[in-house]
Amino acid sequence: MAVKTSLIVAMAQNKCIGKDNKMPWHISDDLKHFKALTTGHPVIMGRKTFDSILGYLKKPLPQRRNIVISRSGFKNEHNISIFTNISDAINHGKSVASDEIFIIGGAEIYTQSIQYADKLYITKVHKNVEGDAFFPEFNEDEWTEIERTDHLSHEPPYSFITLERK
Ligand SMILES: NC(=O)c1ccc[n+]([C@@H]2O[C@H](COP(=O)([O-])OP(=O)(O)OC[C@H]3O[C@@H](n4cnc5c(N)ncnc54)[C@H](OP(=O)(O)O)[C@@H]3O)[C@@H](O)[C@H]2O)c1
């Protein structure tokens, strides 16, 4: 079976995804949703997102092969895989995956890799948020919504939306 490439993101109405290398909100159900979807699968991320995760967890994401993309010769003491370009990272992810790999950000990596995605898992936070990292513009006509769960009484209100490439 071909390994699927999925991209997972939480974004505000104005497509903001981050501020000062942190998440701009705390939605614990979204963290659980992220964990449930990605556990057991390789996760691919930019070096700044990896730094952000280390800031929160003090370790890589557990029970997932962490694959980090960096040009700068980045090294660290953790048991992760590091690649200097996106296609080598994706190929490595696919070689160790059972059925799905997840591209988990941040903005630079989403921008350069959305073209490779078969599926988008979006947590849409229904408000505008200030920040310095944004999800790229993408053509929604190329995607079909296959699943949606609204959590509109939560503050902030949000929806889990799954899109599949047409
Ligand atoms: N809301 C969400 O779902 C979500 C998810 C993930 C991240 N975020 C947020 O997004 C922000 C981080 O995003 P970002 O755009 O600043 O950084 P990023 O995409 O996480 O990482 C950027 C780094 O990746 C490396 N890189 C990028 N393109 C490359 C390429 N083609 N080849 C080799 N290396 C490459 C470079 O690392 P070197 O500098 O080491 O060369 C670059 O500095 C944070 O605020 C974070 O909290 C939000």
Instruction: Compute the distance between CA of residue 114 and CA of residue 5 in angstroms, rounded to an integer.
Output: 10
Residue 106 Cβ < 6 Å to ligand 1: yes
**pLDDT score, position 137:** 96
The list of the chain residues with pLDDT below 70 reads none
Determine the distance separating the centroid of ligand 1 and the alpha carbon of 45, expressed in angstroms.
7
Give 90-136 pLDDT, tens digit per residue: 999 999 999 999 999 999 999 999 999 999 999 999 999 999 999 99
Determine the distance separating the centroid of ligand 1 and the alpha carbon of 19, expressed in angstroms.
12
Residue 133 Cβ < 6 Å to ligand 1: yes
* Among 108, 123, 130, 161, residue to substitute to test ligand 1 (most atoms within 8 Å of Cβ): 108
> Given the CA of residue 10, which atom of ligand 1 is nearest to it?
3
Q: Which domains does the chain have, with CATH numbers?
A: 4-159 (3.40.430.10)
**pLDDT score, position 1:** 77
For the entire predicted model, the pTM comes to 0.98
Measured CA to CA in angstroms, residue 109 lies from 6, 75, 76, 104, 155 at distances of: 13, 19, 20, 8, 29
What residue owns the CA closest to ligand 1's atom 13?
106
* Pairing mode of beta strands 100-103, 81-83: unpaired
